[in-house]
Amino acid sequence: MQAEERRFALEAMILVAIEPVSAAELADLLGEDEAAVATTLTELADELRDARRGYQLQETASGWRFVTHPESHEFVQRFANRDVSHRLSTAALETLAIVAYRQPVSRVQIGALRGVNADGVVRLLEQRGYIEAKGRAEGPGQPVLFGTTELFLDRLGLRSLDELPPIAQFLEGLEEARALAGELAER
């Protein structure tokens, strides 16, 4: 298969794919060498990024997909929020953040960090496929420990959890809060 024909086919398949598609799967569908397909995908991703198009080709944990350009966030958000309610509640987003940054973590630990019972929210996130049981804790009752899934990484456009932004950037004023807590404890 010629390079242009390969590129043409890859663009079409990724465009209609509901979920990210791996280079290996695309190579198999085309009857091509995986290395050649991976090279074509990387070249296409670079070209789209350099051309500053409204969309980009992105590699995630489970494969390749088209995504909107990060600079188009404001426009996409305006479009997506038009007459549409948010898909995850604040409680669900808080719980998902706790699981992402503290995994593996139990329901009780999540509830302790949030200050409320997290059973319903954990069940919802599990049903939606964003978190899953990763094992059991040692100790009394051996509670289920939860972690994020590949779907979670795909939705955020990440290849791995290492790409999550540092938690410290979300904790502005942490030192001031600690100082205040120390002062209050002394009283």
Q: Indicate if 90-186 has the same CATH topology as 3-72.
A: yes
Residue 172 pLDDT level (bands cut at 50, 70, 90):
low
pTM here is 0.55
- Provide the pLDDT for residue 156: 86
Residue 147 has pLDDT above 90, yes or no: yes
Which amino acid appears at position 82 of this protein?
A: R
Average pLDDT of the segment spanning 32-59: 94
CA count, 13 A, side-chain hemisphere, 79: 6
Report the topology of domain 3-72: Arc Repressor Mutant, subunit A (1.10.10)
Query: What is the DSSP secondary-structure string of 145-169?
Result: EEEE-HHHHHHHT-SSGGGSPPGGG
What residue spans define the domains of the chain? 3-72, 90-186
Task: For 71-112, write each residue's pLDDT tens digit.
Answer: 998 998 888 766 544 478 888 999 999 999 999 999 999 999
The top-scoring range by mean pLDDT among 39-48, 155-164, 169-178 is 39-48
Which residue carries 């790409």 as its tokens?
Answer: 163
Phi, psi of 59, deg, nearest 5: -95, 130
Q: How far apart are CA 10 and CA 40, in angstroms?
A: 9
Report the topology of domain 90-186: Arc Repressor Mutant, subunit A (1.10.10)
